[in-house]
Amino acid sequence: MKTIGLVAHDNRKKDLIEWVEYNYERLRGHELVCTGTTGRLVHEALEKKLGAGAVDRMIILKSGPLGGDQQLGAMIVEGKISMLIFLWDPMQPQPHDVDVKALLRIAVMYNVPTANNRATADFLITSKLFNTGYKPKLKDYTSYIQRSIE
């Protein structure tokens, strides 16, 4: 079972909901972790489509600007997120842009497969590695941690 982080900016929420609905059978059996508004909307859409109680493995964090991005980043650091689907809006400035950059930075640092568009998300969940126990290799930051500060 994978734990999949789902995040979408306002102008991309509809795209993410459509993607989750379309791919629900493939996602079923995996845990979904969403930032606040995205999670609420995805949950509502799936229950409307599939019926009440259809969504059994979903964690909804705080809204991104209210700390949800940091909560998701902390889960990545703790090794609790297997992949991240983050449909961000490249055309709209975000008031919490520093949080967005921090989340993406953490995903890269911890080698978490990350999709920023639907095509890449499709590639991730159709990979032969999707339903395996694949563990990404982590970079060793020991030399950074033990560096000399003068």
Buried b or exposed e, range 9-23, using 16+ CB within 10 angstroms: beebbebbbebbeeb
Dist CA 1 CA 28 (whole Å): 10
In the chain, the domains with their CATH numbers are: 3-145 (3.40.50.1380)
Q: pLDDT digit string (tens) for 17-46?
A: 999 999 999 998 899 999 999 999 999 998
Closest by CA to 36, choosing from 15, 4, 10, 2, is: 10
Q: pLDDT digit string (tens) for 50-60?
A: 887 777 789 99
Q: How confident is the model at residue 127 (pLDDT cuts 50, 70, 90)?
A: very high
The model carries a pTM of 0.91
What pLDDT score was predicted for residue 6?
97
- Residue 108 to residues 18, 34, 42, 104, 150: CA-CA distances in angstroms? 26, 19, 25, 6, 28
Residue among 56, 69, 99, 122 flagged as catalytic: 69
Is 15 one of the annotated active-site residues of the chain? no
